[in-house]
Amino acid sequence: MLKHALLKATEAGAAEIKRFFNGDFKITNKEGINNPVTEADHAAEKAIFEVIRQEFPDHFILSEESGEIVMDSSYKWIIDPIDGTINFANGIPLCCVSIGIEYNGQMVMGAVYNPFLNELFFAQHGFGATLNDKIIHVSNKTEVIKSCLVTGFPYTYLDEPNGPLQVFEKLIRKGVPVRRLGSAAIDLCWVAAGRFDGFYEHKLNAWDSAAGFLIVEEAGGKVTDFKGDKYSPYQPHIIATNGKIHDELVAIVNGAEF
Ligand code: IPD
Ligand code: CA
Ligand code: CA
């Protein structure tokens, strides 16, 4: 029932993304210079809400464009109607719908769907992770120096020690390939699928990572904050890896040489 609603909501959001892609849509800007929201973000969010409200009118919702819709419920849907809005707005087909569901504060289910690659990632707590219904696993790399990583940068520059550019520079100077796809949810799912060995980012919101972090964990990976402690999507830092390079990447993100 819950899974059915989750997948239906994900598909409904994705149909709106496809409908607007490469067409005419209104763009407005949120805080920062390059933090757009498009008509498609709102339309996808509306379509997702409609499915949830049909099936579960009393569930709590946290969604990027509408904020919190507070309900007295053990269930909380955490929604990013388009993760990768800049890609979407530029006609780059690397964006997705991302929806995670918490039950009593624990992430129990997540789905991330990129309709352009037709890739649906799904995980249920304790039941593994899948890509289009096939079980997926993280990679086997054991050293950061031999890894392929991915990261993202916030819309406003973070001027702090071991900030996004410092960590990026350190890895690049050592010749480590570090990709930047522009969708944290896809970054996480691609770690889960073994395409990347690790992902780190300095400033995410709950809707960026809610589904993806569960998908990585269920694919056998490890997800923590920058201290290496248990991950919460309600704080900004994330390190998600295959588990084997985790401690090394945590140390590097905190300033260690390698
Ligand atoms: C963004 C993407 C991007 C990440 C940003 C997010 P949005 O989400 O996930 O990869 O670097 O921090 O805000 O704005 O496209 O939903
Ligand atoms: Ca996002
Ligand atoms: Ca978004």
Q: Which residue has the higher pLDDT, 196 or 33?
A: 196
pLDDT at 155: 85
Note whether 103 and 189 are same-domain residues: no
Average pLDDT, the chain: 97
Note whether 181 and 228 are same-domain residues: yes
- Testing ligand 1's pocket by substitution, the residue of 165, 208, 238 carrying the most ligand atoms inside 8 A of its CB is 208
Q: Tokens 């780059």 identify what position?
A: 92
Give the domain CATH number at 69.
3.30.540.10
Residue 34's pLDDT band (cuts 50, 70, 90): confident
Give the domain CATH number at 180.
3.40.190.80
For residues 229 and 238, the answer to whether their CB atoms sit within 8 Å is no
Note whether 116 and 215 are same-domain residues: no
Note whether 92 and 164 are same-domain residues: no
- Is pLDDT above 90 for 147? yes
Q: What's the gap in Å between 182 CA and the centre of ligand 1?
A: 6
Listed residues: CB within 5 A of ion ligand 3: 64, 80, 82
The full length of the chain comes to: 258
DSSP collapsed to 3 states, 163-214: CHHHHHHHHHHCCCCEECCCCHHHHHHHHHCCCCCEEEECCCCHHHHHHHHH
* % of the chain with per-residue pLDDT over 90: 95
Note whether 30 and 49 are same-domain residues: yes
Residue 221: domain span: 144-253
Q: Is 182 in the pocket of ligand 1 (CB under 6 A)?
A: yes
Note whether 96 and 182 are same-domain residues: no
Residue 202's pLDDT band (cuts 50, 70, 90): very high
- Is pLDDT above 90 for 103? yes
- Testing ligand 1's pocket by substitution, the residue of 28, 34, 42, 83 carrying the most ligand atoms inside 8 A of its CB is 83
Please state, in angstroms and rounded to a whole number, the distance separating the CA atoms of residues 39 and 125: 33
Q: What's the gap in Å between 113 CA and the centre of ligand 1?
A: 15
pLDDT at 31: 77
Compute the C-alpha angle 200/205/210, nearest 5°: 80
Q: What's the whole-model pTM score?
A: 0.98
